[in-house]
Structure 1
Amino acid sequence: FPAFGTMPVGGGLLCAASGLALLVTATATDFWLQHRAPGGTAAIGLWHLCLGGHCRPPPAFWDATRVLMLLAVLAAAAGFALGLSAAAAGAARRARARAAGVTLLLAGVLALLGLAVCTAGARSLLGPAPGAWRLSWSYLLAWVAVVLTGSAGTGHRRGGRGLCRWVPHPRRALLPL
């Protein structure tokens, strides 16, 4: 197995793995919107809406967000697996790297669509003056995951010349250009 410093997809794999982990975390947690007030807290996530200790299913528009985020997680996992297989493959390396790139870009687009639906739905749910409601850390993790999976997809698709393109190998000497 070649060292990651010799592979242009090494950094793309790092971005893909990080993006996948953040997508899973954002999708699994229930802190997309939070409300903090003296009377208590409330949180809305993809799976629950909890107000004052009582939880119920979230509004219907969250179903679309949930489906898009789950599809993004599946696409990111497939892209990461394809990227790993491209790192180990010989002749089919370039084709697998491009397929990984396209799949990771698809994951980023699906997550971006999920975030757009969430933002529009939250705006319609809370009205023009949302008050003490704030987009919370699960929502922000999803945005970071969009950037990471998109960067990984671009890096794989362009043959390792993207934002997350190269992780140096510890034994490789870095020489000035």
Structure 2
Amino acid sequence: FPAFGTMPVGGGLLCAASGLALLVTATATDFWLQHRAPGGTAAIGLWHLCLGGHCRPPPAFWDATRVLMLLAVLAAAAGFALGLSAAAAGAARRARARAAGVTLLLAGVLALLGLAVCTAGARSLLGPAPGAWRLSWSYLLAWVAVVLTGSAGTGQGHPWVGHRPQRRARPR
């Protein structure tokens, strides 16, 4: 199988690209927490808190979540770029693949920390019984992005990435 050595790189790049797209979408949208009630809807995101049609800046703990998510986006973009450069033929293929793996794992860890800060902050903001408040689709996209970037990082960082199996000469 001549393409066997490149399969993990392609799968890692697919996970990295998908994870990066989801991280960007989750970070850019303002639907991390939503409240649906007969009086109207409310949404809290990384950039706005909108209650009844009036928007204002989100609580202070969202700043930490926002910074961690932006760093995760930057790390995922760097990991994807390194993964693309590792997919090209070259002498530094394995080193680039490992660097891409470490960078993508870092992106997953940063996003995971951002989600942890968000979850803890939302619990402190809303109290132990949040009632009608629900974690919404932006938050869920960020969780899927954590899984994808983590998978891409482990897929890119393995020793077999960038290694092409050598053909053995058949004895005559």
Whether TM-score is above 0.5 comes out as: yes
Contact 2:29 2:45 in 1 (8 A): yes
Provide the rounded CA distance (Å) in 2 between the counterparts of 1:73 and 1:22. 9
**Aligned match of 2:40:** 40
Corresponding residue SS for 2:82:
helix
**Pairwise CA distance, 1:7:** 4.2
**Pairwise CA distance, 1:88:** 0.6
**Pairwise CA distance, 1:44:** 0.1
For residues 44-95 of structure 1, the C-alpha deviation after alignment (integer angstroms, 9 at most, x for no partner) is: 0000000000000000000000000000000000000000000013110000
**Pairwise CA distance, 1:8:** 2.7
**Pairwise CA distance, 1:175:** 21
For residues 110-148 of structure 1, the C-alpha deviation after alignment (integer angstroms, 9 at most, x for no partner) is: 000000000000000000110000000000000000000
Provide the rounded CA distance (Å) in 1 between the counterparts of 2:14 and 2:171. 24
**Aligned match of 2:23:** 23
Provide the rounded CA distance (Å) in 1 between the counterparts of 2:57 and 2:4. 44
In structure 2, list runs of 5 or more residues that go unmatched: none
For residue 166 of structure 1, the aligned residue among 151, 157, 160 is 160
Corresponding residue SS for 1:8:
helix
Provide the rounded CA distance (Å) in 1 between the counterparts of 2:134 and 2:171. 47
Contact 1:9 1:83 in 2 (8 A): yes
**Pairwise CA distance, 1:166:** 12
Moved over 6 A (4+): 1-5, 165-177
Contact 2:33 2:44 in 1 (8 A): yes
Contact 1:11 1:167 in 2 (8 A): no
Q: Cα RMSD over matched residues?
A: 5.0
Contact 1:4 1:167 in 2 (8 A): no
Distance 1:40 1:4, change over 3 A: farther
Distance 1:26 1:161, change over 3 A: closer
**Aligned match of 2:58:** 58
**Aligned match of 2:81:** 81
Contact 2:16 2:80 in 1 (8 A): yes
Distance 1:100 1:132, change over 3 A: same
Q: With the length of structure 1 as denominator, give the TM-score of the two structures.
A: 0.85
In structure 1, list runs of 5 or more residues that go unmatched: 155-159
Provide the rounded CA distance (Å) in 1 between the counterparts of 2:168 and 2:38. 57
Contact 1:23 1:141 in 2 (8 A): yes
**Pairwise CA distance, 1:13:** 0.0
Contact 2:68 2:110 in 1 (8 A): yes
Structure of higher CA gyration radius = 2
Provide the rounded CA distance (Å) in 2 between the counterparts of 1:176 and 1:35. 72
